[in-house]
Chains A and B, each alone.
Chain A
Amino acid sequence: MNPTRRQFLTGSAIIAAGGLSTLGLPAFAAAEDVTKALADFVGDSETKTGKLTLKTPEIAENGNTVPISVSVESDMTEESYVESVMVLAEDNPLPNVITFNFTPASGKAEASTRMRLAKTQNVIAVAKMSDGTVYTDTKNIKVTIGGCGG
């Protein structure tokens, strides 16, 4: 996408940087990579929304360091806890970002990290509970491009 002059003049700081990659390669993850990563993680379980919250900035000032955090509602007891939360970036060269693995000793199913985003895209989190249920949450993050240095 080429931003039009109008978009610039209306002051939008957000540019979907088509073709610009902070990771240095134009090749982005194919949709089937994302589908496969999801299938490997959850099998054929039905995914639901709710319980899992993925927190991200709306706008990432630099795609090299984007703070993200996940939290899942759970008592985290031996009987019922969150096993793991996988994070995927749809349009990165490789979709896998990180998988957090919890135990009842985690106390809370919460974790934060910082990730790289090649361009504006959806980030998907998937939580797998000890009883086999699966929750997802998706956030769109706009990645801006820099000044005259790009």
Chain B
Amino acid sequence: MMKTKIYNTLLVAGITAVSLSTVSVTAAPVDETLIIDEEIEITTRAAPPEGHPLKEVISGWHYRTPETRELETDTFQNPGYLGVEQGEEIWNTAEGTEGKSCASCHGDASESMANVGATFPKWHAKMNKPVNVELQINYCRTENMGAEPYKFDKSGQKPLTAYIKNQSLGKPVELDLAAGDMQAWFDKGKETYYKRTGQLNLSCASCHEKNNGNYIRADHLSQGNVNGFPTYRLKQNKLISLHNRFRGCIRDTRAEFPAAFSDELMGLEVYVTWRGTGLSVETPAVRQ
């Protein structure tokens, strides 16, 4: 097995003498349309924003098997919606010393949160940094509800994030990089994206930019877009948060991995979200 792993590492890292172009490990992303519940058409292929390194922005949905793709077409069968429903309950449940729920201030999420999933991370002037939905929830909990902030991936964080982002299902991702210092965080995230790390000496770009469409062992590498997070992963059979996936990916390069919501990973979230500009929000997506 060890030998196998090494060959693949070499293949993916692109440092083997065998050029990738001479072997047929590529399988094109499938040419199909994602329509959810026969009514919501999802943009899974988009023209890249200016300065994007790829010719086309493609959702990870296209890289999955027919059975996995089908799960996402039906909100009943998609087990991620168990989390979305749980998130809806949390939205309407008062917590903390102020006796408030999310709904007390924000009312109907389908209106108040309609664009959140498509526009976060967003510049937060008071915190002087970009925040994602998880951090915004914690800000609300501590500042407005008098409740403890959620710990990473604990209690209601994933279902509530999934519920809020799901309100933007089908809307195209578009970040406001002109706000505050967003551009500086974007630049920092870009640096992280291209920095090789770990014993395998891989950067995000090694797999998701240079080798998307190829296989790493039996895994069909996608562009690594994040428009479907929190995403239901068949491997773990539960919703997986974006920062969990970031950390898992970095861990797999055999590197030390940064803390969730650290400046390093927040910069990366800004940059990687931008790479998926134009794709519809798919939360909760279904992946392998």
Question: Are A and B in direct contact (Cβ within 8 Å)?
Answer: yes
Chain A contacts to B: CB under 8 angstroms: 2-3, 5, 8-11, 13-15, 57, 59-62, 64-67, 144-150
Contact A147/B67 with A5-B7, A8-B7, A11-B25 known, Cβ cut-off 8 Å: no
Given A61-B67, A64-B237, A147-B207, 11 more A-B residue pairs with CB atoms under 8 Å apart are: A2-B3, A2-B4, A8-B8, A14-B218, A15-B217, A57-B67, A67-B67, A145-B217, A146-B219, A147-B218, A150-B217
CB distance from B249 to the nearest CB of A (A): 8
Number of A-B pairs whose CB atoms are under 8 Å?
A: 85
Asked if A9 and B216 make an inter-chain contact with CB atoms under 8 angstroms apart, the answer reads no
Residues of B near A57 (CB, < 8 A) are 65-67
Chain B contacts to A: CB under 8 angstroms: 1, 3-5, 7-9, 11-12, 18, 23-27, 64-68, 70-71, 200, 202, 207, 215-221, 234-237, 248-249, 251-253, 288
Contact A148/B234 with A3-B4, A61-B67 known, Cβ cut-off 8 Å: no
Q: Tell me, in angstroms, the Cα distance from A9 to B200 when the chains sit together.
A: 20
Complex partner residue of A147 from B26, B27, B251, B252, CB under 8 angstroms: B252
CB distance from A17 to the nearest CB of B (A): 8
Residues of B near A62 (CB, < 8 A) are 68, 234-235, 288
Asked if B216 and A145 make an inter-chain contact with CB atoms under 8 angstroms apart, the answer reads no
Complex partner residue of B235 from A3, A9, A66, A146, CB under 8 angstroms: A146
Residue of B nearest to A67 (CB): B67
CB distance from A36 to the nearest CB of B (A): 29
Contact A13/B67 with A62-B234, A146-B217, A147-B217 known, Cβ cut-off 8 Å: no
Asked if A11 and B23 make an inter-chain contact with CB atoms under 8 angstroms apart, the answer reads yes
Asked if A8 and B288 make an inter-chain contact with CB atoms under 8 angstroms apart, the answer reads no
Majority DSSP secondary structure for residues of B touching A: mixed
Complex partner residue of B68 from A9, A13, A61, CB under 8 angstroms: A61
Residue of B nearest to A56 (CB): B67
Complex partner residue of A59 from B24, B65, B207, CB under 8 angstroms: B65
Contact A65/B234 with A8-B8, A9-B18, A145-B218 known, Cβ cut-off 8 Å: yes
CB distance from B256 to the nearest CB of A (A): 16
CB distance from A67 to the nearest CB of B (A): 5
Residue of B nearest to A145 (CB): B218
**Which of A8, A60, A61 gathers the greatest number of chain B CB atoms within 10 Å?**
A61
CB distance from A139 to the nearest CB of B (A): 13
Q: List 12 contacting pairs A-B, 8 Å CB cutoff, sorted by A.
A: A8-B8, A9-B18, A11-B24, A14-B218, A15-B217, A57-B66, A61-B288, A62-B235, A64-B236, A144-B218, A148-B5, A148-B216
